[in-house]
Structure 1
């Protein structure tokens, strides 16, 4: 089965709702569904997290990381305190991160596994940058930006998780036949993961949208974070680039000193996030 046939087959399965997720994903999905209700009682959220030891450990770890404890407050030692510190929206993002990470957990082929690891590294750096860009540049909700960045490559992770079954997925595609199938697969995976419409639309727009000047929305945040990320996605023949004069364009709304500070902060946050989410 060649690349085009493989994409077509998986897209057809996706349209029929026949998505193949790792069993371990289901627990995190249950947490996401519950937390999607802003009125979810704190005790219910705590119970859901405690029912999944890995999620509980990661919740406490990320609450104590540099991302959420810059003031050097005492370490949190329980799930209740961790949820109170990071909030429901970031707990929702953490559950999503576990879902994304689990897609690569059963990959057997070493080459495919290496791509999944690079894609995860790329995702973490984009997430750290998106949160900072949202806060300092685009003035959108940083928690929404963090979540969107964590799931922005979920379609790629899903395809990598199927590559052992369909080796043709990783063949070269010089004629670029598969974009339509990729869009279908991405859309269906995001629907399965209950990605909010605002976030899903921004992620779908990454393929062929241009940065607004000045950047002022979620899509712009993701475009800029992808451009600044030090690790590229291994699934793209070329990184999602801004125009050739992008660096001079960025100078219009971020001065050199501020940009350097943002990049340094993002490196600290990416390292903290990577350690806290290591599975």
Structure 2
């Protein structure tokens, strides 16, 4: 009964648009708002990055990660150089990653903090795989796929942070928890101003199956989740079988392109996880 009351409370907050963000993410949200303005000048973006030392450090680390340094070039040593290398769209992804990570950073219970860290590692793998899959297989925009991979578990991070104050909230995931996760995710995607095509792809992941051959952003995310070496610690019953099936298994078996994608994405995931660790 108590768990049902907790579910009802969070659902009511979500539907009223009252989901609460950590106060520590204000700089990231302000950067997102600025970058969403088509008239945002590069100097404005640089000033906002420099206004928050952690954000500036993460931008430089991201610029030097395998995702952005694979084509060579000098090591980036300034926020200006980072902004110019990664571009507005990936700065937007960085700001979103800071928001996602800060939900986990405020958790006090050790077990929940461990789950949040595992969830971040899963998200980093999915983001890296999505980036490489988009370039080499599904032919969607790689930067969009990277952003979607970072954001796809934002609802899980939020629920982990709430479970810190609502013991047992995430115990024994069932259909109700799946519905709660979906409602919270949709609300958070709206609050974070996630573009509609990305929000739609993320919201439709639950219970989804990969097309053969894969194509589009949703398939990119589903396949990345299927290939990720580390599963989400919050995987629901239907998530455990997403993207499985004889047709997909046959498609993946002995597929040299998939093997190449796995190798390339592994290094991207390692460097991305470190670069975005906030």
With the shorter chain as reference, the TM-score category is over 0.9
Post-superposition CA distance 1:15-65 (Å, at most 9, x none): 112112111122211111111123310000001100011010111111112
User: Could you tell me whether the CA contact under 8 Å between 1:104 and 1:157 is conserved in 2?
Assistant: yes
| Cα distance between partner residues in 1 of 2:241 and 2:196 | 22
The 10-residue stretch of structure 1 (130-139 or 5-14) with the greater mean CA deviation from structure 2: 5-14
Structure 2 gaps of 5+ residues are: none
Count of equivalent residues: 275
What's the offset of the Cα at 1:173? 4.1
Structure 1 gaps of 5+ residues are: none
| Cα distance between partner residues in 2 of 1:118 and 1:222 | 18
In the alignment, which residue of structure 2 is the partner of 1:57?
57
TM-score by length of 1: 0.94
The 10-residue stretch of structure 1 (17-26 or 53-62) with the greater mean CA deviation from structure 2: 17-26
Alignment of 1:217-256 (within 5 A): 217-238=216-237, 239=240, 241-245=242-246, 246-250=248-252, 256=255
| Cα distance between partner residues in 1 of 2:180 and 2:70 | 43
User: Could you tell me whether the CA contact under 8 Å between 1:66 and 1:272 is conserved in 2?
Assistant: yes
In the alignment, which residue of structure 2 is the partner of 1:181?
180
User: Could you tell me whether the CA contact under 8 Å between 1:226 and 1:240 is conserved in 2?
Assistant: no
Cα gap change, 1:3 to 1:248, in 2 (>3 Å) = farther
In the alignment, which residue of structure 2 is the partner of 1:104?
104
User: Could you tell me whether the CA contact under 8 Å between 2:103 and 2:161 is conserved in 1?
Assistant: yes
Cα gap change, 1:119 to 1:243, in 2 (>3 Å) = same
In the alignment, which residue of structure 1 is the partner of 2:163?
163
TM-score by length of 2: 0.94
| Cα distance between partner residues in 2 of 1:170 and 1:181 | 11
| Cα distance between partner residues in 1 of 2:100 and 2:73 | 30
Alignment of 1:1-279 (within 5 A): 2-174=2-174, 176-238=175-237, 239=240, 241-245=242-246, 246-250=248-252, 256-279=255-278
Cα gap change, 1:240 to 1:196, in 2 (>3 Å) = farther
Post-superposition CA distance 1:222-259 (Å, at most 9, x none): 000000000101111343521332221335xxx63222
User: Could you tell me whether the CA contact under 8 Å between 1:2 and 1:168 is conserved in 2?
Assistant: no
The 10-residue stretch of structure 1 (190-199 or 242-251) with the greater mean CA deviation from structure 2: 242-251
What's the offset of the Cα at 1:276? 1.0
Cα gap change, 1:4 to 1:104, in 2 (>3 Å) = same
Post-superposition CA distance 1:121-140 (Å, at most 9, x none): 00000000000001111101
What's the offset of the Cα at 1:141? 0.4
What's the offset of the Cα at 1:84? 1.0
| Cα distance between partner residues in 2 of 1:140 and 1:237 | 27
The 10-residue stretch of structure 1 (232-241 or 221-230) with the greater mean CA deviation from structure 2: 232-241
The 10-residue stretch of structure 1 (165-174 or 28-37) with the greater mean CA deviation from structure 2: 165-174
Cα gap change, 1:222 to 1:73, in 2 (>3 Å) = same
**Which 4+ runs in 1 deviate beyond 4 A?**
none
| Cα distance between partner residues in 2 of 1:125 and 1:138 | 17
Aligned-pair RMSD on alpha carbons? 1.5
Cα gap change, 1:96 to 1:208, in 2 (>3 Å) = same
